[in-house]
A and B are shown apart, each in its own frame.
Chain A
Amino acid sequence: MGRLLGIAIWIITLGSVWMFVSKRWWFPEAISEHGPSVDRQFMLTIIVCGIAFAAAQIGLGWMVWKYRETASQDRATYSHGNNRLEIIWTIVTAVVFISLAVMGQRVWAALHLHAAPAGSYQIEVVAQQFSWNFHYPGKDNVFGRTDPKLIDDSSLNYLGLDDTDPNAKDDSVVSTLAIPVNRPVELVLRSKDVTHSFWVPQLRFKQDLVPGMAIHVHFTATKVGKYELACAELCGMNHYKMKSYMLVLPEDEFRDLAALPQNQFQARRDELLNKYQLPRY
């Protein structure tokens, strides 16, 4: 039984490690400036994890194989432990874990402990059950006033845009996110009803949208294309299909789109959605 158990543990270990090493199920390609750093930190972490996992499981398997009760043995080794060993392996573990922890703050700090760089293009994101609204400031680059009392989903005024405000006249509100490539983007994240979460896997970025808060985040996308946007915080019955797209556009294409008047924005957005394809999976 000891040998069988040892073998079973080793086979499980092998299979688990293979699942990662083969990269058969892996992150989609990173398309943000900070993305490769996240991936590198993950690789470092998963290698440490893999070594620890394999060592522990192999050790466990080895112990149950080697120290299974045999007729020849009279007693087990009488030992209450080994203080020196305890201290050594505790210190080594602590050093490795704390180092990983400290390294694991770097990308987070770059994105969250610094404000968006000057010149970031600002877009307001307002989530609701079960769709996304993206508010573009238009040619004047000033967001028009919104008022909750003016919200009326049935007449498609999802944000309560106040059309008596001159700044609102050139604003567009659509269900697709479009951003320029290689330029920092600042999103102001809000929600109308419950907590949602903005999630684009390729971006290596996720952030909750909380009612009552306006959360500022920033990132820079580095590859043109069309990417799926999913909600990542349980928000009700249609959480599984609260879907949209993020378009990363070449600078000139984006500039033209951003300057379009309200009545042309939607149609151009449709064209662009058709023009760009999702990555191949």
Chain B
Amino acid sequence: MAEATHETVHRHEPPKSFIRKYIFSLDHKVIGIQYILLALSAVLVGMTMSVLMRMNLSWPGTHWPIMGTLFPTGAPGGVMTPEFYLSLVTMHGTIMVFFVLTTAPQGGFGNYILPIQIGADDMAFPFLNMMSFWVTFVGFLVLLAAIFASGGATVGSIGGWTQYAPLSALGEIAGPGQGMGVTLWVISIAIFCVGSLLGALNFITTLLNMRTRGMSLMRMPLTCWAWFTTAVLALLSFPVLLAAGILLLLDRLAGTSFFIPGSEYVSGILSGSDPRLPYHAGGSPLLWQHLFWFFGHPEVYIAILPGMGATSHILSTFARKPIFGYRAMVFAIFAIGMLGFFVWGHHMFISGMSPYSAVAFSILTLSIGVPSAIKTFNWIGTLWGAKIRFTTPMLFAIGFVSVFVAGGITGLVLGQTSLDFFFHDTYFVTAHFHLVMGVASIFGMFAATYFWFPKMFGRMMNEALGKFHFWVTFLGVYAIFIPFHAMGMVGMPRRYANFSEYEFLKNTHGLVLFVSIAAIITVAVQSVFYFNLIWSVFKGKKVGDNPWEATTLEWTTATPPPHDNFAGVAPVVYRGPYEFSVPGAPKDFVMQTEPEGIEVPAGLGETSGNGGDGHKH
């Protein structure tokens, strides 16, 4: 691979005004923090909604005075209506998937750390970078506007974050919140697509073109590989969502019939006979599902890959050991990314699509478990023979492996067509994706936050608070999501506002209650994290450039890094990213910039020939 020659030219002068420094900044470090702040705000809204959902399910019919005051139509007398509940489900999913899991891991930490880890002074297109954040931010504002679209009867649309047509395409006649609530949702997501695409272009170009001298592709930290692959997935999948959104808007506003078939009879009205339901013919509801999931499946890998990269990186650092099987890890990231495009139909086994396609999708789906398993084995292999330092980032990285396994393993169940007869649209699915995507991703972000906070702010986060945060969260998420599997075993359907109508669900109340209590506690303890963040920015213990004794380029530069990351002197890289515990080296870590002179003794480090240390094997 050609190594980029890097010129240390200031491509943009350091900003002077407050607005140029902190608001409309071109600096990838500021933009990264802006994305993280956006995610931190969005997740508060998402968590609040999930607590409200739990309260409704656990204590149905209870009068909550504050709900009655805030939402007199949505919760008359303080009792939530079913449509209000469904709008919470919709917004919770939308906010969490898009504005938390697709912002912080990639746009947040990726933006901040990637350029520094490859020795660049900024992203390839700083202006596009700034635009990508602000476009995403506007998308969030539009989504928040959707909350008010139905005047308080709901907090937006009721069709789930998946917005299946025709429910999403028919307009208000299909249900409360399906008018302006859906329109604003689609516009918000379309804007988000644009923001994501701008970001993806930047990541790919930067990584390919702006690596410093000596930083070959196979000497890059695994975080960079993860961000790169994620950007490729985003570049290829978000346009499809954008197209789908445009078609949906046309169906809703321009009388087209991409997703709406003929002879629709809704709420007593036949399509074409009344202005509330215009004439439609020839459309396919399945088309929406294909377009949505062609995006939607790569999207879940977009959400998790950065966390995998961070976990590999942090596990190696605090195990004081090279990552086990660097080459295999890179291969696995590629395989996951590529196979991720071939499996979307596993969301649609039961949909009415061809059962032959279902068989193909099913077999491909179980294949994607193989690279995921490789990564898991290699994470555990990294810990074998290690000398583990149990810092807070390390705890969350280990926690990532645990919850990823717990959530991922049930993919073997859900990926089989014959088992999907029972499990589709039950809480078993909800258990799976919350653990493997939601929780694992969040653990990756927590690990990343505690790890890179000192580099960003020159101070440590408080270790005692961090460990407390870890323990309650780790136990809490298991207490919430393991019981969801049991609910699925009984056949409990998703997106039910309450379970009182069915005899076969009557024995689940204990489980539902247990989960809600665990959820309330787990959500509450996140306040410790927020407090720690804010307090530590001002009062955290001050540190130098490399408090963790890590090896990659961000730890060679000042804390916090200067505007152009390396004070005008581009680093030169001589070895791989995970040279810990090298026998004969003076310390138990050798930085990537350490010149020749520390050789790996003959006979060691040759086991995988993976060039992890950059030497010719």
The verdict on A118 contacting chain B, using a C-beta distance below 8 Å, is: no
The verdict on B235 contacting chain A, using a C-beta distance below 8 Å, is: no
- B474-532 residues with Cβ-Cβ distance < 8 A to A are 474-475, 478, 482-483, 485-487, 489-491, 493-499, 501-504, 506-508, 511
The verdict on A168 contacting chain B, using a C-beta distance below 8 Å, is: no
Rounded to whole angstroms, the CA-CA distance of A234 and B86 in the bound complex is 9
B265 touches A151 (CB 8 A): yes
| Residues of A with C-beta under 8 A to B320 | 69, 75-76
A240 touches B82 (CB 8 A): yes
User: How many A-B contacts are there with CB distance less than 8 Å?
Assistant: 386
Rounded to whole angstroms, the CA-CA distance of A210 and B351 in the bound complex is 8
**Residues of chain A at interface, number, CB under 8 A:** 106
- B411-438 residues with Cβ-Cβ distance < 8 A to A are 412-413, 415-422, 424-426
| Residues of A with C-beta under 8 A to B449 | none
* A57 smallest CB distance to B (angstroms): 6
| Residues of B with C-beta under 8 A to A59 | 380
B418 touches A104 (CB 8 A): yes
**B35-43, B280-288, B293-301, B546-554 - the one binding chain A:** B280-288
Q: Mark B261-294, 1 if CB is under 8 A from A, else 0.
A: 1111111101000000000000111100000000
Of the listed residues B366, B499, B606, the one surrounded by the most CB atoms of chain A closer than 10 A to its CB is: B366
A38 touches B422 (CB 8 A): yes
A232 touches B511 (CB 8 A): no
* A10 smallest CB distance to B (angstroms): 11
The verdict on B8 contacting chain A, using a C-beta distance below 8 Å, is: no
B82 touches A237 (CB 8 A): yes
Q: Given A193-B166, A199-B493, A63–B380 Cβ distance below 8 Å? A: yes
Q: Which of A2, A78, A107, A128 contacts B418 (CB 8 A)?
A: A107
The verdict on A98 contacting chain B, using a C-beta distance below 8 Å, is: yes
B264 touches A192 (CB 8 A): yes
Q: Given A24-B486, A80-B610, A195-B285, A204–B422 Cβ distance below 8 Å? A: yes
The verdict on A215 contacting chain B, using a C-beta distance below 8 Å, is: yes
The verdict on A230 contacting chain B, using a C-beta distance below 8 Å, is: yes
- A228-243 residues with Cβ-Cβ distance < 8 A to B are 228, 230-241, 243
The verdict on A142 contacting chain B, using a C-beta distance below 8 Å, is: no
A233 touches B504 (CB 8 A): no
A112 touches B355 (CB 8 A): yes
* A226 smallest CB distance to B (angstroms): 10
Q: Mark A42-65, 1 if CB is under 8 A from B, else 0.
A: 100110110011001101100110
A57 touches B402 (CB 8 A): yes
Rounded to whole angstroms, the CA-CA distance of A42 and B420 in the bound complex is 10
- B598-617 residues with Cβ-Cβ distance < 8 A to A are 600, 604-610, 612-613
B482 touches A16 (CB 8 A): yes
Q: Which of B418, B511, B580 contacts A108 (CB 8 A)?
A: B418
A97 touches B412 (CB 8 A): yes
Q: Given A5-B398, A69-B387, A238-B82, A79–B355 Cβ distance below 8 Å? A: no
Q: Mark B392-424, 1 if CB is under 8 A from A, else 0.
A: 000100100110011001101101111111101
| Residues of A with C-beta under 8 A to B581 | 75-78
The verdict on B377 contacting chain A, using a C-beta distance below 8 Å, is: yes
Q: Given A56-B405, A113-B356, A97–B369 Cβ distance below 8 Å? A: yes
* A189 smallest CB distance to B (angstroms): 8
**A82-90, A178-186, A259-267 - the one binding chain B:** A82-90
The verdict on B388 contacting chain A, using a C-beta distance below 8 Å, is: yes
Rounded to whole angstroms, the CA-CA distance of A37 and B471 in the bound complex is 41
Of the listed residues A25, A151, A154, A278, the one surrounded by the most CB atoms of chain B closer than 10 A to its CB is: A25
Which residue from chain A places its CB closest to the CB of B277 in the assembled complex? A193
The verdict on A167 contacting chain B, using a C-beta distance below 8 Å, is: no
Q: Given A78-B605, A80-B612, A83-B609, A42–B419 Cβ distance below 8 Å? A: yes
* A97 smallest CB distance to B (angstroms): 5
Q: Given A28-B504, A211-B261, A45–B385 Cβ distance below 8 Å? A: no
A201 touches B398 (CB 8 A): no
Rounded to whole angstroms, the CA-CA distance of A94 and B582 in the bound complex is 34
B607 touches A81 (CB 8 A): yes
- A149-169 residues with Cβ-Cβ distance < 8 A to B are 149, 151, 153-154
Query: Sorted from nearest, which 10 A-B pairs have the closest CB atoms?
Result: A212-B261, A104-B416, A77-B385, A81-B325, A112-B355, A25-B486, A201-B491, A148-B263, A63-B383, A101-B366
Q: Show 28 residue pairs from A and B whose CB-CB distance is below 8 angstroms, ordered by the A residue.
A: A5-B390, A12-B402, A16-B482, A25-B489, A25-B490, A27-B422, A63-B384, A64-B388, A67-B385, A68-B388, A69-B390, A76-B588, A78-B600, A78-B604, A80-B322, A81-B378, A90-B373, A101-B365, A104-B418, A105-B363, A154-B268, A195-B351, A211-B264, A213-B286, A230-B502, A235-B167, A240-B82, A240-B498
Which B residues form the contact surface with A (CB < 8 A)?
81-83, 86, 158-160, 164, 166-167, 170, 174-176, 260-268, 270, 283-286, 319-328, 349-352, 355-356, 358-359, 362-363, 365-367, 369-370, 373-374, 376-378, 380-381, 383-390, 395, 398, 401-402, 405-406, 409-410, 412-413, 415-422, 424-426, 467, 471, 474-475, 478, 482-483, 485-487, 489-491, 493-499, 501-504, 506-508, 511, 580-583, 588, 600, 604-610, 612-613
Which A residues form the contact surface with B (CB < 8 A)?
1-2, 5, 8-9, 12, 15-16, 19-20, 24-28, 37-38, 41-42, 45-46, 48-49, 52-53, 56-57, 59-60, 63-64, 67-70, 73-83, 85-86, 89-90, 93-94, 97-98, 100-102, 104-109, 112-113, 128-129, 148-149, 151, 153-154, 192-195, 197, 199, 201, 204-208, 210-213, 215, 228, 230-241, 243, 278-279, 281
A101-B363, A240-B501, A241-B501 given; name 6 further pairs at CB < 8 Å.
Answer: A8-B474, A38-B418, A42-B419, A79-B385, A97-B412, A210-B352
